[in-house]
Amino acid sequence: MDLIKVSPNKERAKSILKMISLLEERILIQDKERMTALIITDYYEIVKELITALLFIDGYKTLSHKELIDYIKEYPEFSTYEISIINDLRILRNRVAYEGFFVEVSYLNRNENNFKKIIKKLKQIVNKKI
């Protein structure tokens, strides 16, 4: 992994947690049928930022989203399946952001609980380390 060593920064991680709470609020008020792609993007942003917070706590940073996902593999709390979900979410977010791809609401309905479980697990790890 090409991580950049930095001084551990718990305050930055706390700030990230505050921003995440705003993203979670935004998800709740969006129309699932019309805004599916944007909700998917928000879920990815939450996961990405939580992993970024972990990196800051552990004294690292990276500019690569793939590196973020590789980093989370170091945590035994995450299964290969969960890592795969995060990577699929990354790919889908890129399609939405760069290709204007629209996501079917059925995808969100099938996967939203997995996203929430991963987010909950990441938050628990971050909060424990702060």
> Domain for residue 110, yes or no?
yes
10-42 pLDDT per residue, tens: 999 999 999 999 999 999 999 999 999 999 999
| Per-residue burial over 74-109, b = 16 or more CB atoms within 10 Å of its CB, e = otherwise | eeeebeeebbebbeebbebbeebeeeeeebebeebe
> Domain for residue 2, yes or no?
no
Separation between Cα atoms, residue 12 and residue 23, nearest integer Å: 17
> Domain for residue 1, yes or no?
no
> Domain for residue 109, yes or no?
yes
Could you give the number of structural domains in the chain?
1
Q: What is the CATH number of the domain that holds 75?
A: 1.20.120.330
Q: What are phi and psi of 76, to 5 degrees?
A: -65, -10
> Domain for residue 54, yes or no?
yes
Structural domain that includes position 44 = 8-129
Q: What is the mean pLDDT of each run of 10 residues along the chain (130 residues)?
A: 91 96 96 96 98 96 93 95 97 96 96 98 96
